[in-house]
Structure 1
Amino acid sequence: MPAAAHTLAGSTTLGQLCDLQAFVERWGAVPKELLSNSVPSLVPTGRGVVTQQGAGCILGPPGYTKTPVLSVFTAMFLHSSWTHLIGNMLFLAIFGNNIEDRLGRVRFLLFYLVCGYVAGYGFALTDPSSDQPLIGASGAIAGVLGAYLVIYPRARVWGLIPVLFFLPLRVPAWLMLGMWFVLQAFYATGYGTAQAGSVAYAAHVIGFVVGALLGFTMRGRRRIDRPQ
């Protein structure tokens, strides 16, 4: 399933980790920055240091200019891993083409960005003091899923359904996407998963709701013919 934000982890050196942290701090969407519309005076510089107290990244004045409102846009193009990226692109490929058919390319792009921005700022409001960067396009893609549920609830899609074990079955979109939304809402409470602190489930929920609401305005729009 799509994932919106992940912590930095893996078998990397301290220097690599600090360099990656500095990159994500610069281009990711930080809730605290979004709500204050300002950048902190000290940010990771990309260099690490080891002391008797432990290891960490050196902080310093930012050597760049960052506009928080634009960071929501750049964050949509950052992903924590190939799994994160491929998972998001898979959902976008499966469900996004039908919504694009409804809206046309330009309107679909605007719809996608609106869902991403509302999800980003909505997540910031749920944790206004957080300085952990939000990365990934999952808020926008969750909006696509919400719109798909409203417009094509009876369309049959392939999904892995847990019946004793996971079985690939064609099920109505309302069942698959409804189950997905319920799980995201449950995980957003902090229960049911060990990754609740590293995945921005609240952004998924907000993006989905926004997409569903906008989906109601599309239901009467005639579908654009799409070449085979």
Structure 2
Amino acid sequence: MFPIGDDDSEVTDVPVVTYGLIAANVLFFLVELNGGDAFVEKWAFIPSHFSQSPATEWPTLFTAMFMHGGWMHLFGNMLYLYIFGDNVEDNFGHLKYLVFYFIAGIAATFAQYVFNEGSSIPNVGASGAIAGVLGAYILMFPRSRVDVLVIRQVISMPALVVIGFWIVLQLFSGVGSISNTGETADAGGVAYMAHVGGFAAGFVIALLFGKRAGPSQTA
């Protein structure tokens, strides 16, 4: 299932923060491409480096959120942010949404760090923060519809099903990655626990501080 759009009928304001985050991610990725490996080494979150010197490495908690492993990594993340971010931003409000986004991203980073603190592999990507957006979305808009591309057909499905399928996949993949931590600590791949941690953080923050969907919202 490949999401391509959702119900924006409840969105009442221009999602300037979401658009700004997308622009910042694209621009930072272009700088990353120009900077090469030296740039990645300096600004990505590297667990072993953070363990050795958190006082000097803390900026990478933020900069790593705007870095990506390739064009497809960037495209996939920005697509999800574009589809689901505007609704969550409209619910939270611009400033609260921006703070929420960074908290979810940091929570995601630490969720991965707990299971792989000795790794020297750079952690990059907005995936953890965007997982937080999905966690908030599924609580705020459980009855919304999401258009998904299934093979060659576009089907409208409940957000609860689409995002629920995504998080179940992350949970199963995360459990598998934990069982192989000793063997793969220095191998690249997907930071599944960051996805799980970001999703959980987003859900909890939305539960505490977000507005729930009103009774007028229908499937």
Instruction: State TM-score, norm by structure 2.
Output: 0.72
Q: What's 1:20 paired with?
A: 36
Matches of 2:211 and 2:66, distance apart in 1: 32
The residue correspondences of 1:75-154 to structure 2 (distance < 5 A) are 75-154=64-143
CA contact (8 A) 2:101 2:133 kept: yes
SS in 2 for 1:168: strand
Matches of 2:156 and 2:132, distance apart in 1: 22
CA contact (8 A) 1:159 1:171 kept: yes
TM-superposition CA deviations, 1:65-90 (whole Å, max 9, x none)? x9311101111111111111111111
Matches of 1:220 and 1:29, distance apart in 2: 32
Which of 181, 200, 211 is the equivalent residue of 1:209?
A: 200
CA contact (8 A) 1:32 1:124 kept: no
Matches of 1:90 and 1:140, distance apart in 2: 13
Moved over 4 A (4+): none
TM-superposition CA deviations, 1:118-158 (whole Å, max 9, x none)? 11112111111111110011100000000000110110011
Matches of 1:112 and 1:31, distance apart in 2: 21
SS in 1 for 2:68: coil
Which of 167, 179, 186 is the equivalent residue of 2:172?
A: 186
CA contact (8 A) 2:81 2:130 kept: yes
Matches of 1:30 and 1:197, distance apart in 2: 12
Rg larger in structure = 1
Structure 1 unpaired stretches of 5+: 2-16, 39-65, 224-228
The residue correspondences of 1:55-66 to structure 2 (distance < 5 A) are none
Q: As a proportion of its length, which structure holds more helix?
A: 2
Q: As a proportion of its length, which structure holds more strand?
A: 1
Residue 202 of structure 2 aligns to which amino acid in structure 1? G
Matches of 1:216 and 1:209, distance apart in 2: 11
Instruction: State TM-score, norm by structure 1.
Output: 0.69
SS in 2 for 1:189: helix
Matches of 2:190 and 2:174, distance apart in 1: 9
SS in 1 for 2:58: helix
CA contact (8 A) 2:141 2:212 kept: no
Matches of 1:221 and 1:74, distance apart in 2: 31
Matches of 1:117 and 1:135, distance apart in 2: 12
Structure 2 unpaired stretches of 5+: 3-32, 178-183, 215-219
Matches of 1:155 and 1:174, distance apart in 2: 8
